[in-house]
Amino acid sequence: MKVDRLVSIIMILLDKERIGAQELAEKFEVSPRTIYRDIDSINLAGIPIRSTSGVGGGFEIMENYKVDRKVFSTTDLSAILMGLSSLSNMGHGEELANALAKVKSFVPADRAKDIELKTNQLYVDLSTWMGNKNIKPYLKLIQTALKENRLLSFDYADRHGNKTARTVEPYQLVLKNSHWYCQCYCCERKDFRLFKLSRITSLQLQEKTFTPREYQKPQLEFPDIIESMQTTIIIRIHRSVMDGVLDYCTYEQFEPDGEEHYLVKFPFIENDYNYNILFSFGDKCECLEPPHIREEMKRRIQNIAELYAK
C-alpha cells in the first residue's frame, strides 16, 4: 500500500541520518526503482530529501529541515485518513492500523475535531450488498500474493462459461465500475491478462515465488472505441426506475412525458450486455426508437415468452 509505505519512509528518515535505496527496497519488498519514485513523491509533498552517492550514501532529510505537525495541512491529513479509512473493509489488518496510527500522530490536538469532521465527510464502502461471497477472502489471498510475490492458481470462466486452469503472477488489484479485477501475468498465455474476480473459482495461494517482471498496466479506458460503437436510442421509462437509468446517463437526457414517465436519450451499444440493461427495468421501460432496436427487443421478449410457455 503506497500511502503506508510513504509514511513509513518519512518516519524512517526522521529516525536515521541516512539510508540507502537498496535497504529501503528490501525492507518494503519492492524494487529500488519504486523507492526512487516514492522519494520523488515525498519531495513533491514539500519534504526535501537529499541523495548522496558512493560508499555510505543514500537518502536523508536535508539538514536544518524538521518535519513537524504543520507540514501536513488539515486538508492533507483529512485526505490521507479518508483514503486509509476507506480501505478498512479490504482486510489490510495490522498494516492498515499501523498506517492510520502513524498518520494520526501528525494531527495537532487543536485541529483533531476539524480533521475528524472532514475525514467523515466521505465514506467509501467497497463491500457488496449481495452476490459473490468469495470476493472478500479472494482479495485477502491476492493481497498476500502481491506482498510476497507468490504465484496464484485458479479456474477461470470466460464470458461464455468455458473454464480453464490458470497459474499467474499477480501485479495489481483493480476496482472498476464496482467490479474487482486482478492484473496478472498468465503463465499459460505468456502475457498479461486482466482477470475478473467474480469469474474466478478455486483460488489457491502457491508456495512458489516469482521475480517481478517489467509491469504492463491494464488498459482501463476506451473512450474513442466506445464512442464509435455507441448510438443514442429513445426509451420511455416510469419514474420508479429513474434511479437505475441514471447509472448510465445524466438527468439532462431526461424529458418529462406526463406526470409518471420520462423520455430518455439513452446511450446504447448493440450487444447482449446493453440489451440486458434495458430488460433489467422490466415493464417500466419501453424502447421507442430506432425501429430496428425496438424490433430486436420484441424478438428477444418473444424468445423469453416461448421459454416459459414450455
- pLDDT tens string, the chain, 310 residues long: the values are 566 677 778 777 776 667 888 888 888 888 888 888 888 888 887 778 888 877 777 888 776 665 555 556 667 767 777 666 666 555 555 566 666 666 666 666 666 777 777 666 666 666 666 556 677 788 889 989 998 999 999 999 987 788 999 999 999 988 887 788 999 999 999 999 999 998 999 999 999 999 999 887 787 666 666 777 889 999 999 999 999 999 888 889 999 999 999 999 999 999 998 999 999 999 999 999 999 999 999 999 999 999 998 7
Answer yes or no: do 229 and 196 share one domain: no
Let me know if residue 215 belongs to a domain.
no
Let me know if residue 247 belongs to a domain.
yes
pTM: 0.55
Let me know if residue 126 belongs to a domain.
no
Let me know if residue 286 belongs to a domain.
yes
Within 13 Å and on the Cβ side, how many CA atoms surround 285?
Answer: 23
Burial 191-206 (b: 16+ CB within 10 A, else e): ebbebbbbbbeebeee
Answer yes or no: do 16 and 110 share one domain: yes
**Long-range contacts of 224-227, Cβ-Cβ distance < 8 Å, separation of 24 or more:** 226/269
192: domain range?
Answer: 148-209
- Domains in the chain, number: 3
Distance of CA 173 to the CA centre of its chain: 7
Answer yes or no: do 60 and 18 share one domain: yes
Q: Residue 152: which CATH number?
A: 2.30.30
Answer yes or no: do 36 and 103 share one domain: yes
Let me know if residue 136 belongs to a domain.
no
How far is Cα 78 from Cα 189, in angstroms, rounded to an integer?
A: 43
Q: Residue 69: which CATH number?
A: 1.10.10.10
Answer yes or no: do 275 and 172 share one domain: no
Let me know if residue 133 belongs to a domain.
no
Let me know if residue 245 belongs to a domain.
yes
Answer yes or no: do 232 and 189 share one domain: no
Chain length of the chain: 310
Answer yes or no: do 279 and 182 share one domain: no
